[in-house]
Amino acid sequence: MRTRRPRNGLPGSGKSTPARALGRELGWPVLSKDAIKETLADTLDRPGGVGEAEWSTALGRAAAESLWTLPATAGRGAVLESPWPAGAAPCAPGPLRRGRTMAGMGGGRATAGSRARVLARYRKRGGNFRACGIVQGSAMICGVKRLWLYTVIATIGMTGVAHAAEVPGVDVSNWTGEIDWAAVASGGGKFAFVHATEGTDYRSPSFEAQFSGAASAGLVRGAYHFAQPHESDGTAQADHFLRNGGNWMSDGQTLPGVLDLEDNPYKDTNGKNNCYDLSAADMVTWIKDFTKKYRAATGRHAIIYTTTSWWQTCTGNTTTFKSNPLWLARWGSEVGELPKGWKKHTFWQSAEKGTLAGGQNVFNGSESQLKSLANPPAEVRVGGRAVSRKSYTVTISNTGPHPVKDVKLTGRTFGGQRVVKAPGCTFSGTAVNCRIGELPLGRKKTFTITTRPSRSKGTVGLNVTVGSVKLVLKAR
């Protein structure tokens, strides 16, 4: 019989961010971005909401950890600057992957002059972050630009203590039994994780009923796989998961699949230790194999469920999986220390048994962000290089979960050269235009553009535009 062993999350201390330090120095409680935007909309009498930060300096006792601006209209090539470390998440609009905002903080008093000095000091922070833009509807284009802005906004008439947005949910398995999903929904539950598979030979007999029942009640739901790393490699177990309920669907109600990694519950029968007798290096390889297979099949990064203590012991506290959302298991009233590599958690299991059904969980964000995690935009990556003074390549890759249609590339040479060859494209003089009718999930298309320089020396190159991404390819 398969069952899930209790999670042994250990307490620890969270880490401070520059915005936390700012909040403490100003003595401000901190609100979520959504709460601040709603308040600004009400204060400024904007029924449609506010699209950009609007500053107030005289009144207010609230700050946001960070703020970024959404494009006003999708499909116009607007640039979106998202506070995600490069490589830490797939290209996505800010609200899709936004981390936990700070809980309300008290603090000492600060004079107007000292607040102004602190604001000036913290208004900009340097960093290495990903810039994304909109291309054709909801498709995203990721370029190479890196930018980070820590913005603090003061809002008018804000009083009291603010709390971080958290959305309640459950996790269930065959051992949970029959579930009244309508009661879960009416009790405030917004999402559910359902046990689907384990190892390479087990599928929960309750999975179909639980998975479809959660959806029928209006919950966002996802499947999880209980890892048995000693039984087979990660790829084989990912295959088993994908064939038996773990495959992601673009229906707006399905979360990315979960890889459940925790202490070996079968030590008495399989004789393995809590790390399944794998070394830290071998465990990291196993997880890579699983997550790589899942990403290739679905275009999504699998969620990783674990405890901080297990991760430290069995993976050596690796930072390899920053792109995978973290579902942290720690029973208690505080999240505590996170595994190294993650700056925030996406889900938190705080109790083995909750008030709704199964385990007690919260999503670290707003309900709209939860829905965005289930229904992300398309994602396209663009890269190019100057092979020589006469040859340039541009590669467009679909790295997201949806097929992408009607992607257009425009280019223009500089430095005194003409386009003489571009298979699959049209060209005339210094201009070249290429189009991809449809780019399926996981596929890429490379265009090779050949030119004829008018001189043998000096800088030449090609300016390329794909949606909101602009590349400058130079050669000497």
Contacts of 315 (CB under 8 A, 6+ apart): 280, 283, 284, 287, 339
DSSP 100: P
Is position 171 annotated as part of the catalytic site?
A: yes
Contacts of 105 (CB under 8 A, 6+ apart): 20, 23, 24, 28, 29, 30
Catalytic residue among 198, 260, 289, 337: 260
In whole angstroms, what is the distance from residue 255 CA to residue 258 CA? Answer: 9
Burial classification of residue 352, based on how many CB atoms lie within 10 Å of its CB (0-12 exposed, 13-18 middle, 19 or more buried): middle
Catalytic residue among 262, 289, 337, 379: 262
Is position 262 annotated as part of the catalytic site?
A: yes
Determine contact, residues 326/345, Cβ cutoff 8 Å.
Answer: yes
Burial classification of residue 440, based on how many CB atoms lie within 10 Å of its CB (0-12 exposed, 13-18 middle, 19 or more buried): exposed
SS3 3: coil
Q: 10 Å Cβ neighbour count for 372?
A: 20
In whole angstroms, what is the distance from residue 310 CA to residue 341 CA? Answer: 14
Determine contact, residues 213/179, Cβ cutoff 8 Å.
Answer: yes
User: Scanning the structure block, which residue is given the tokens 């291309």?
Assistant: 135
Catalytic residue among 25, 171, 239, 289: 171
Is position 268 annotated as part of the catalytic site?
A: no
Which positions are annotated as active-site residues?
A: 171, 260, 262
